Amino acid sequence: MSEAKKTIFSGVQPSGKLTLGNYLGAIRNFPILQEEYNCIYCVVDMHAITVRQDPAMLRKQTLEVLAQYIACGLDPEKSTLFIQSHVPAHAELAWVLNCYTMFGEASRMTQFKDKSSKHADNVNVGLFDYPVLMAADILLYQTDMVPVGVDQLQHIELARNIAQRFNGVYSDTFVMPEPYIPKAGAKIMSLADPTRKMSKSDENQNSFVLLMDKPEDIMRKFKRAVTDSDSRIIMSDEKPGVSNLITIYSLATGKSVDEVEKEFAGKGYGEFKPAVGEAVVELLRPIREKTEDLLRNKDYLESVYREGAGKAAYAARKTLDKVYRKVGFVKR
Ligand code: TYM
In DSSP terms, 41 is beta-bridged to 10, 81
**Quick one: 153 exposed, middle or buried, by C-beta within 10 A (0-12, 13-18, 19+)?**
middle
Q: Is 64 in the pocket of ligand 1 (CB under 6 A)?
A: no
pLDDT value of residue 4: 84
pLDDT value of residue 3: 64
- Rounded distance, CA 332 to CA 329, Å? 9
Q: Is 187 in the pocket of ligand 1 (CB under 6 A)?
A: yes
- Residues 157, 67 share a domain: yes
CB 178 within 8 A of CB 144: yes
Q: Report yes or no on 196 lying in a domain.
A: no
**Quick one: 80 exposed, middle or buried, by C-beta within 10 A (0-12, 13-18, 19+)?**
buried
Give me ligand 1 centre to Cα 257, in Å: 25
Q: What is the CATH number of the domain that holds 262?
A: 1.10.240.10
Query: Nearest 5°: phi and psi at 258?
Result: -55, -50
- Residues 286, 236 share a domain: yes
Residue 15's closest CA among 47, 37, 38? 47
In DSSP terms, 80 is beta-bridged to 40
Q: Is 90 in the pocket of ligand 1 (CB under 6 A)?
A: no
- Residues 210, 157 share a domain: no
- Residues 111, 213 share a domain: no
- Residues 321, 259 share a domain: no
Asked if 6 is an active-site residue, the reply is no
- Rounded distance, CA 305 to CA 76, Å? 9
Q: Domain range holding 249?
A: 205-291
pLDDT value of residue 118: 85
Q: Report yes or no on 190 lying in a domain.
A: no
How many other C-beta atoms are found inside a 10 Å radius of the C-beta of residue 326? 15
Q: Report yes or no on 197 lying in a domain.
A: no
Q: Is 25 in the pocket of ligand 1 (CB under 6 A)?
A: yes
Asked if 197 is an active-site residue, the reply is yes
pTM of the model: 0.96
- Rounded distance, CA 226 to CA 240, Å? 9
Give me ligand 1 centre to Cα 173, in Å: 26
Q: Which atom of ligand 1 is nearest to the CA of 148?
A: 22
- Residues 307, 284 share a domain: no
pLDDT value of residue 1: 44
Q: How many domains does the chain fold into? A: 2
Q: Is 182 in the pocket of ligand 1 (CB under 6 A)?
A: no
Q: Report yes or no on 123 lying in a domain.
A: yes
Residues of the chain with pLDDT under 70: 1-3
Half-sphere exposure (Cβ direction) of 64: Cα atoms closer than 13 Å: 19
- Catalytic residue, from 200, 255, 311, 322: name it: 200
